[in-house]
Amino acid sequence: MDGRVARGNRNRQAVVDATLALVAEGQSFPTAQAIATRAGVAPRSVFHHFPDLDALFAEAADTQARRHWSVLQPPAPDQPLADRLAAAVTQRADLYERISAIRRVAVRHEHDWPVAARRLRESRSALRRHLRAAMSPEIRGVDRASAAALEAAGSWETWEVLRRHQALSVAAATAAVTALLTSTLERALAVPSP
């Protein structure tokens, strides 16, 4: 790779990283000038790499996903349910701690920013699949309302309430989510199917 291409790739990544940093600090839609300043590049460099700020924000969202979502791994199916749940909740705690600052901004703009709406739909779907894998085969026996309650208990939104609004530590929030999931699943499995 020649020097200009390598420098261009570094500058492009610096622009994306600067965008993520500014959003994490609470700037929902940082300006090209603010991004360029943080990245240490000329403002025109932002638009050299991206046709517009929407394209940059989309790339930043994709970068965020690539960096952090790999922590969600399917549990070993031969483990007891309690171990599978513990692993799943620990992975979610790690993920949620990494993404919360940027996710807050995405949630705030979900209804007026299509990029955020798409990324949040995809992430919620991934979280549902992850939870279903952790609770399989047990979750197959629960009704729709109980499955929805389980998904809500394991969601980022629940994590946000526990960590930010109730000021629980990571360990306490992890214990709370585990207890919610365990008790909800146990109750759902105890109810006979109609």
Q: Using 50, 70 and 90 to split pLDDT, how confident is the model at 1? A: low
What DSSP designation does 76 have? Answer: P
Query: For all residues of the chain together, what is the average pLDDT?
Result: 90
Query: Which is more confident, 30 or 169?
Result: 169
Contact 35, 46 (CB under 8 A): yes
Predicted local confidence at residue 85, as pLDDT: 94
Q: Compute the distance between CA of residue 144 and CA of residue 140 in angstroms, rounded to an integer.
A: 10
E-assigned strands of the chain?
none
Q: Residue ranges of the domains in the chain? A: 3-52, 72-190
**Amino acid at the residue 184:** T
Phi first, then psi, for residue 193 (nearest 5°) are -65, 145
What would the pLDDT profile of 105-131 be if each residue is shown by its tens digit?
A: 889 888 988 888 988 999 999 999 999
Tell me which fold the domain 3-52 belongs to: Arc Repressor Mutant, subunit A (1.10.10)
**What would the two tokens of residue 109 be?**
């703009």
What would the pLDDT profile of 133-142 be if each residue is shown by its tens digit?
A: 999 999 988 9
Give the closest residue to 50 by CA, choosing from 17, 15, 102, 10.
Answer: 15
Task: Report the share of the chain in percent with pLDDT over 70.
Answer: 97
Q: Using 50, 70 and 90 to split pLDDT, how confident is the model at 191? A: low
Contact 22, 34 (CB under 8 A): yes
